[in-house]
Structure 1
Amino acid sequence: MATSKRNVKWIRAEIERLDPETDSEQIVRLTSCQLLPKSLLVVHLFYTVGFIRFAGPPVSAESVDRNGTGMLYDHGIRRADETMFHLFSWVDDGVSNPTSMKSLDYVRNWHSGVARDWPMPMHTFQHSAAVFTLIYDRLLRHIAGSPGLNENERRAQLIHWRSVSERLGVTDIPHTWQEMEQLLETYEHGTEFAYSPPGQRLANALVDQFATRWFPKPLRWFGRWLALAFSEEHVIDTLGIPRPPTAFSYTVRRLARVAVFAKRHLLPDPREVLRLSDIITAHKDSALVNPSIPASGTTRSER
């Protein structure tokens, strides 16, 4: 498939040909390959924007912040790369793959270990499932102002992240795209999603780590504004983080719209389907200790 369709727009046609009920893993991988460039900076931005949302529920923020002593503050880049590796490997290999199942069990056990001292209610994990399911579509529509995912892609994303969440022990996950959207909207405009000092500290740390990693000191303000410009306003407003200047956000989002249009309609699709986890492991500045088994040596005190 990859070699016979070089330098043409083949991904969209392939997604339309596939059945999301039986081919969800392949559709999810193709969607990611079509939208994401082979750039650790971009996927780290993607990670930062997504994980800022998890600072919204105070109980979730407290479990990661741990009174300002969490691993995020001392080993933030390593934590980001390890988390991205896990998430992307589930996309690369599919949830049913033995390697993915081992990774999912590792993450579930990690969460269980944290919960002994910092328990999180089920609604925080249901919120996470909604964020992961909807994030591509929301970034396209709410940030870039572009058309969102098509019906095949939406159904595949729903099936994929439901499977991931169920493997992680999450219950009562919505069965339809509309229900997943309703869950996210209701949750992020409800009482469980609110300002807290740990949440604000955590979100600022995520943004600052992105800026520090990719921009020299004189331009770290740019990296910070960039991450916030890609974040939805109600999220950063809830966390009490000042928005970037309106003109900056408008410009960044318009440029994102142009980039999405070019990636989807003008530039040739990749000759081969990209392994997203390779973006992390192959980068010269990757923080993974051992790319084949990330975080295997992490002790509970580090968590």
Structure 2
Amino acid sequence: MRRFARLREIQQLDPVRDHVRIQHLSTGYEFPWDTVRALEIALYRTYCVPSISALLDRTGEFRHRTQQRYDDTSLIVAEMCKSGYESGRGREALERMNFIHGHFRISNEDYLYVLSTFIYEPIRWIDKFGWRKLCEQEKLGAYYFWREVGMRMGIKDIPPTFEAFEQFNLNYERDKFRFAETNQRVGAATRDLFASWFPRLFTPMVRHGIYAMLDEPMLQAFGFPRPWPFLPSLARFALKLRGKVVRFFPPRKKPHFFTDIRNRTYPHGYEISKLGPPRLRKAEAV
């Protein structure tokens, strides 16, 4: 298979009818690493909203089980991207997510914003750092995929077009991003989780590397310091260089989703029905 064969396949698909297939090919074959990194930024952006961070902080999950929360969220998202949302493990993951969310009071507007980040952050990341830019079918496919997921989550008033939802995303961030102590606590817990993946000697560098990937509104909303002056340019250069190198790699023969990676929380495998906060699992067992 030639390097751009899957792109040509995707371009032959209809983003309305074939969005599940497009999402599978794009996230599992074309941009698996970029998708994970972009969704990390997407989730980080949601912590800049006080109403969202307050809920996460109140549960205590991000203070006491940060790695598990990261893994549970990533696995549920990856299961849907891999298998779709209508049957099999993808549907089971969607139902599990709805069960977990059903135990918390979350506004429709906050649901809409989180959903929007799953569409637009990967698009922005890949267009800046990917080995190629996304084609129109991939962008629209992501919109229709997550719109259908959102409808099955019971989210109301999802904007009817790709452009309208993107404008909602931008307006929401402009109006809602502001500093709160809960933002800082949840953001710091996640930052320290990422730093824990590296030897302790590198913790200061990893922290500033994370700051370098955050834009000014995010830094202000978290109350984080600005990164070392040279780091933002260095980080962008390194990521763009990676994209240029990956462009010359042969195409993947097998998909590579987050579900296919050895997991820190569940090194021996996991059951979708067991994902989520321990207190919910205990309640189910009663």
Taking structure 1 as the reference length, what is the TM-score of the superposition? 0.84
1:52 aligns with 2:44: yes
Judge conservation of contact 2:24–2:82 (CA < 8 Å) in 1. yes
Judge conservation of contact 1:56–1:193 (CA < 8 Å) in 2. yes
Give the % identical residues: 22
- What is residue 102 of structure 1 aligned with on the other side? 92
Structure 1: which amino acid aligns with 2:141? A
In 1, the alpha carbon distance for the partners of 2:269 and 2:187 equals: 27
1:231 Cα deviation (Å)?
Answer: 2.7
After superposition, residues 101-180 of structure 1 pair within 5 angstroms as: 101-113=91-103, 115=104, 119-141=105-127, 144=129, 148-180=133-165
1:110-141 Cα deviation digits (max 9, x unpaired): 1121x2xxx22111110011100111112134
Taking structure 2 as the reference length, what is the TM-score of the superposition? 0.89
After superposition, residues 68-79 of structure 1 pair within 5 angstroms as: 70-79=60-69
In 1, the alpha carbon distance for the partners of 2:11 and 2:195 equals: 38
Task: Report runs of 4+ in structure 1 exceeding 4 Å deviation.
Answer: 145-148
After superposition, residues 228-247 of structure 1 pair within 5 angstroms as: 228-247=211-230
- What is residue 19 of structure 1 aligned with on the other side? 14
Structure 2: which amino acid aligns with 1:166? M
Structure 2: which amino acid aligns with 1:196? A
- What is residue 30 of structure 2 aligned with on the other side? 34
- Cα separation, partners in 2 of 1:288 and 1:302, compared to 1, 3 Å: farther
Judge conservation of contact 1:289–1:295 (CA < 8 Å) in 2. no
Structure 1: which amino acid aligns with 2:228? P
Structure 2: which amino acid aligns with 1:153? E
Judge conservation of contact 2:72–2:275 (CA < 8 Å) in 1. yes
Judge conservation of contact 1:60–1:124 (CA < 8 Å) in 2. yes
Structure 1: which amino acid aligns with 2:182? P
DSSP 3-state at the match of 2:106: coil
Q: 1:298 pairs with 275, 278, 283, which one?
A: 278
- What is residue 70 of structure 2 aligned with on the other side? 80
In 2, the alpha carbon distance for the partners of 1:288 and 1:198 equals: 31
Judge conservation of contact 2:32–2:257 (CA < 8 Å) in 1. no
Q: 1:278 pairs with 256, 260, 272, which one?
A: 260
- What is residue 188 of structure 1 aligned with on the other side? 173
1:224-255 Cα deviation digits (max 9, x unpaired): 22333223332222222122123111111111
Structure 2: which amino acid aligns with 1:170? I
5+ residue gaps, structure 2, are none
Judge conservation of contact 1:199–1:239 (CA < 8 Å) in 2. yes
Judge conservation of contact 1:194–1:238 (CA < 8 Å) in 2. yes
In 2, the alpha carbon distance for the partners of 1:248 and 1:297 equals: 36
1:250 aligns with 2:233: yes
- Cα separation, partners in 2 of 1:57 and 1:301, compared to 1, 3 Å: farther
Structure 2: which amino acid aligns with 1:220? T
In 1, the alpha carbon distance for the partners of 2:47 and 2:257 equals: 29
Structure 1: which amino acid aligns with 2:92? K
DSSP 3-state at the match of 1:84: helix
1:64-118 Cα deviation digits (max 9, x unpaired): 001xx611111111111111000000000011123222221221121121x2xxx
Structure 2: which amino acid aligns with 1:71? E
DSSP 3-state at the match of 1:246: coil
- What is residue 189 of structure 2 aligned with on the other side? 205
1:10 aligns with 2:5: yes
DSSP 3-state at the match of 1:251: helix
In 1, the alpha carbon distance for the partners of 2:39 and 2:187 equals: 12
Judge conservation of contact 2:130–2:240 (CA < 8 Å) in 1. yes
Q: Which moves more between the two structures, 125-134 or 224-233?
A: 224-233
Q: 2:249 pairs with 264, 267, 274, which one?
A: 267
1:296 Cα deviation (Å)?
Answer: 6.3
- Cα separation, partners in 2 of 1:10 and 1:75, compared to 1, 3 Å: same
